[in-house]
Amino acid sequence: MSWDVYIMRVPQDVEEVEDIPGGWEPPSLGMVGEVREVLVEQLPGIVFDNDGRGEYDGPGFRIGIPLPGNDSEEVEMVALFVHGGGDAAGAALAVTEALGARAIETGNGGWLTAETAAEAFNAWQTYRDRVVRGDEVTDTTEST
């Protein structure tokens, strides 16, 4: 189970994730080689396999980052699949900012920002811990 962060160049005037128009195509973040350079700067020690998948071990967390193997392909989105704890939210924010992009996170389902990062990551960790313990996970919305 991972906390997923999707990094794209979504226009700043899109206030809510739900406001992204259907069929919208994100502009390029750059070529794979350029994106890898940013990842190496922000996540020192990241290792890429022959298929392009990056693995980063941070203090208390691990991030998997699938990228195409061909350095000359364009990248429209970078996905971070985060496992563990620590300051993974800070690492995700650093990558997002270095790419000049915005990120959607799956803890609260909104934009990942300096203001929302800790709460969003904590929400995901709470959910993960409940699932791992086998606690019943229910929808808290009321039905009418």
Domain ranges of the chain: 3-15+25-132
pLDDT at 144: 39
Domain 3-15+25-132 carries which CATH code?
Answer: 3.30.1400.10
Report pLDDT digits (tens) over 19-57.
898 899 999 999 999 999 999 999 999 999 988 899 999
DSSP 67-132: --S-TTSEES-EEEEEEE-TTHHHHHHHHHHHTT-EEEETTTSSB--TTTHHHHHHHHHHHHHHHH
Q: Model-level pTM? A: 0.86
Report pLDDT digits (tens) over 66-76.
998 788 899 99
Report pLDDT digits (tens) over 81-131.
999 988 999 999 999 999 999 999 987 888 999 998 888 888 888 888 888
